[in-house]
Amino acid sequence: MNRLNDLLALSHVPRWSIISHARPQSVADHTFRVMVIATELSSRLNVPLHMQDLLYALEHDAHESWTADIPAPMKAKIENFGFLLGGIRDWMKKGPHPTGYDQHNLIKLADKIEAYTFITKNGEGMQAHRVSEAMEAMLDDTLRCYPQWRFHVEEVMTEIIEETGRGTVAWQTESS
C-alpha cells in the first residue's frame, strides 16, 4: 500500500452511490470540505487544531481508496462482523490521530456536518430526504454532548446550506 497514491486516488472514489444527487462528490472533495469545516469550527469554538488533527481530518476516509465509499450503516455492520481486517485495518491505525478529545469530536462533527449539508443541498428524492433527516437527528444527538457548541454549529450549517456571503470579497464588505 502506498499512502501517497492511495490518498490521491480518493479524487476518483465517488460518494453517495446509493442516493440520488444533483452533483457528484468524490471522497477527496468530502475530506477537503471536512478540513475546511473543522478549521472554521476550531476558530469559532476556540478549540485549537494542530497539523496532526488536520491530517486526521484529511485522512479519516483514506481507507475508501481500497473499499470505495461505504454507507455508514453498512460500515458499522462490516466492522462488527470483522470484515475490515488485515492490511486495511493496519493501514488505518498507522495514520494520524487527533491530539485530544475535543479535537477528535470536533473533526467527527465536521464530518457529519459536511455529509448533512452536502446531501441536504444536493440530494434528490425521498431516500435523500430520509437520509438528511436522519443525519440531522444524529447531529442533534451529538450536540447534546456539547451544548456550548450548538449556536456556532447551527450557524456554520446555515451558512453552508444558504451559501451566505458566497461571491463577496472581504474587502468589498469592509469598505461599504
> 117-139 b/e with 16+ CB inside 10 Å = b?
bbbbebbeeeebeebbeebeeeb
pLDDT at 86: 52
Per-residue pLDDT reduced to its tens digit, 163-175: 877 776 655 555 5
Domains of the chain plus CATH, in order, are: 3-164 (1.10.3210.10)
How confident is the prediction for the chain on average, in pLDDT? 86
Query: In the structure grid, which three cell numbers stand for residue 87, read together?
Result: 492490511
CB-hemisphere CA count at 13 Å for 49? 27
What is the mean predicted confidence (pLDDT) over 16-34?
Answer: 94
pLDDT of residue 79: 64
Contact 122, 21 (CB under 8 A): yes
User: In this predicted structure, what is the pLDDT of residue 120?
Assistant: 95
pLDDT attached to residue 13: 94
pLDDT of residue 18: 86
pLDDT at 69: 84
pLDDT at 138 over 60: yes
**Residue 133 — very low, low, confident or very high, per pLDDT cuts 50/70/90?**
very high
| pLDDT digits 0-9 by tens, 84-110 | 545 555 655 667 888 889 999 999 999
- SS3 label, residue 155: helix
pLDDT tens track for 64-85: 888 888 777 776 676 665 555 4
Count Cβ atoms below 10 Å from residue 113 Cβ, excluding itself: 24
Sequence-distant (6+) residues with CB within 8 A of 11 are 26, 27, 28, 29
How far apart are alpha carbons 167 and 146 in whole angstroms? 32
